[in-house]
A = this chain, B = another copy of it.
Amino acid sequence: MGDQFLVVGGDAAGMSAASKAKRDAPETDVIVFERSNWVSFGACGLPYYVKGEIAKLEDLVVMEPRRFVEERGIDLRRNHEVTAVDPDAREVTVETDDGHYRESYDELLLATGGQARLPDVPGVDLDGIFPIRSLEAGRALRNYVAHHEERPARGIGSTSARELRSHLDEADPEVVAVVGANKIGIELAEAFLARDLEVHLFDSGPRVLRSFGADIAEMVEDHLAEGGVELHLDSPVERFRGSDGTITMVETADDRVAVDAVAVDVGVDPEVELAEDASIELGPTGAVATDEYGRTSAPDVFAAGDCAEKRELLTGDPILWPFALAANRAGRAVGRTVAGQPAAVGGVVRTLVMKAFDLQVARSGIVDHDEARAAGFDPVSALITSITRAHYYPGWSRMVVHATADAESGRFLGANMVAEEGTAHRINSVATAVTAGMTVDEVGALDFGYAPPFGPVWDPVLGVSKVLEAKLE
């Protein structure tokens, strides 16, 4: 035996694959190359780190590097950057501080991740504009918005972060813009408000949280406004202006807002340079194309995580889906496959949950009618207002649920929901039903739990199914 399995990238997909391959086939040599010093970290926690609820950046690390080595037997090489893949020779080129070398593989996984997109407008290179993706960017942002006295002593890692810091020690920002009213953008808005900053939230579209469905956005918008966020919707940023190389102003067609810093959340681009250079096929999404096992067009080369496309289960289409669980799951499946037990990476139904201040917002499947029609469905929707606890149980509040079904087949296609409590896990019942291909009648007949502190007798998911059922008759 003694296959050599190389992994490029040491975050969710890469470390999951490495761990699973080594566990299932201990005789395999598993080497992980990570160009930074960090592996296996929870980037999703960055907004809470910026907010100050999480004390140290190190707290976000899921598993310490040495444990991968000592407990799992993985050859983990940090500060090692893979700069080229040669599928014909079955080798990669690795750059280190001490020069470069080549390493051969039997199987290779590209888990190079994604990069925060930046708006394509003048001034985007100014200091004080933060795309939040890497831990170092999160550290720089926190340092920036924290008061002077809270800032940690110097000694941070990367050069770029040190540069970002250079002018920040003098700054004591008061006004911050967030560009992109998406998940991380709204989480950051909350973090900034908690730090007593004035927050302006810009989005090019008419509604916040586009990916969660515009139909429930109104409740979120009211809530954000009440919380103190200044909303600028239908307001694409046209230019950032600065002074001495540092951001001072955000400009839209109608408005100019003086700011001390900008956080950006307008999307993630898959990091595909290595694959492209090796003539590995990309899909229509721009991410690395893969089959159901995560295999690329090159023999024994896999891709998983944010650099690889995912399969949407309702449409069968490849999509970009740069989220943690999908990356972990795909990585784990590749590890299993490499170990000799072929495992599909699985598709997604685009389930998302988030905390928007005191609201829980969630989505799964297809709710939007244009999307549904594009996928060949004949959409019918229902929007209900339900309650989060029994009507007599203290503390109930309202829950809005919007669900869509296919009129022809009766299939339940998806739902969005928002409330102060009870949507974050409830959405998983929708994800399960959608994945199983259940009809509205089948969803309406599900045997859910009921207790007065947790919902009405007819769970809102069942409730919305009853309304859909009546519409489909």
A341 interface contact, C-beta 8 A: yes
A449 and B473 contact, CB distance less than 8 A: no
Which of A111-119, A221-229, A293-301, A456-464 contacts the other chain?
A456-464
A431 touches B457 (CB 8 A): no
Q: Interface size for chain A: under 10, 10 to 19, 20 to 34, or 35 or more residues? A: 35 or more
Q: Does A438 contact B (CB under 8 A)?
A: yes
Of residues 330 through 366 on chain A, the ones whose CB sits less than 8 Å from some CB of chain B are 332, 341, 343-344, 346-355, 360, 362, 364
Q: What does the 1/0 interface line of A90-125 toward B look like (CB < 8 Å)? A: 000000000000000000000000000000000000
Please report the C-alpha to C-alpha distance between residue A433 and residue B448 in the assembled complex, in whole angstroms.
11
Residues of A160-194 contacting chain B, CB below 8 A: 183
Q: Which residue of B lies closest to A313 (CB)?
A: B447
Is A454's CB under 8 angstroms from B353's CB? yes
Question: Is there a chain B Cβ closer than 8 Å to A375's Cβ?
Answer: no
In contact, B445 and A329 (Cβ under 8 angstroms): yes
Which residues of A from 422 to 442 have beta carbons under 8 Å from B? 422, 424-429, 431-433, 435-436, 438, 441-442
Q: For A392, list chain B residues within 8 Å (CB).
A: 42, 45, 48, 54, 59-60
Residue A390 lies at the interface, judged by CB distance under 8 Å to chain B: yes
Q: Could you tell me the distance in whole angstroms from the C-beta of A41 to the nearest C-beta in chain B?
A: 10
**Please, which residues of chain B bring their CB within 8 A of the CB of A348?**
447
List residues of chain B with CB within 8 A of the CB of A364.
447, 449
* Interchain CB contact under 8 A, B424 and A346: no
Contact B426 A428 (CB under 8 A): yes
Q: Across the interface, do B447 and A42 meet the contact criterion of CB distance under 8 Å?
A: no
A270 proximity list for chain B (CB < 8 A): none
Question: Nearest chain B CB to A440's CB is how many angstroms away?
Answer: 12
CB distance from A310 to the nearest CB of B (A): 9
Contacts of A283 in B (CB 8 A): none
One of A68-76, A248-256, A318-326 contacting the partner: A318-326
Q: Is A268 engaged at the interface, CB distance under 8 Å to the other chain?
A: no
Q: Is the CB of B458 within 8 A of A325?
A: yes
Known: A325-B447, A364-B449. A390 touches B42 (CB 8 A): yes
- What's the minimum C-beta distance from A52 to chain B, rounded to whole angstroms? 10
Indicate whether A325 sits within 8 Å of B42 (C-beta atoms), given known contacts A432-B436, A473-B341: no
Q: Which residues of B contact A431 (CB under 8 A)?
A: 429, 446-449
- How many copies of the chain does the oligomer comprise? 2
Interface centre among A328, A347, A349, A429 (most CB of B within 10 A): A429
Contacts of A425 in B (CB 8 A): 422, 424-426, 428-429, 449, 454-455
Q: Is A2 an interface residue (CB 8 A)?
A: no
CB of A191 to closest CB in B, whole Å: 12
Compute how far the CA of A438 lies from the CA of B353 in the bound complex, rounded to whole angstroms: 23
A62 CB to nearest chain B CB (Å): 7
A277 at interface by CB-CB < 8 Å: no
| A273 interface residue per 8 A CB criterion | no
Complex-state Cα separation, A349 to B445, whole angstroms: 11
User: Which one, B12, B53, B344, B347, contacts A457 given CB within 8 A?
Assistant: B12
Question: Which residues of chain B are within 8 angstroms of A449 by Cβ–Cβ distance?
Answer: 351-353, 362, 364, 424-425, 427-428, 431
- Which of chain B's residues have a CB closer than 8 A to the CB of A436? 432-433, 436, 438
Query: Are A45 and B390 in contact, with the CB atoms below 8 A?
Result: yes
CA distance A360 to B448 in the complex (A): 15
Check if B435 sits within 8 Å of A326, measured CB to CB: no
- Asked whether, in the complex, the Cβ of B394 is within 8 Å of the Cβ of A53, the reply is yes
Q: Closest Cβ of chain B: how far from A394's Cβ, in Å?
A: 5
Residue of B nearest to A453 (CB): B355
User: Are the C-beta atoms of A451 and B424 separated by less than 8 Å?
Assistant: yes
Q: Could you show 10 A-B contacts with beta carbons less than 8 Å apart?
A: A42-B391, A324-B450, A329-B445, A350-B447, A351-B448, A352-B449, A364-B447, A424-B425, A425-B455, A436-B436
Question: What 4 pairs across the A-B complex have the smallest Cβ distances?
Answer: A353-B449, A346-B445, A436-B436, A424-B454
Residues of chain A having any CB pair with chain B under 8 Å: 12, 42, 44-45, 48, 53-54, 59-60, 62, 183, 313, 323-326, 328-329, 332, 341, 343-344, 346-355, 360, 362, 364, 390-394, 422, 424-429, 431-433, 435-436, 438, 441-442, 445-455, 457-459, 461-462, 466, 473
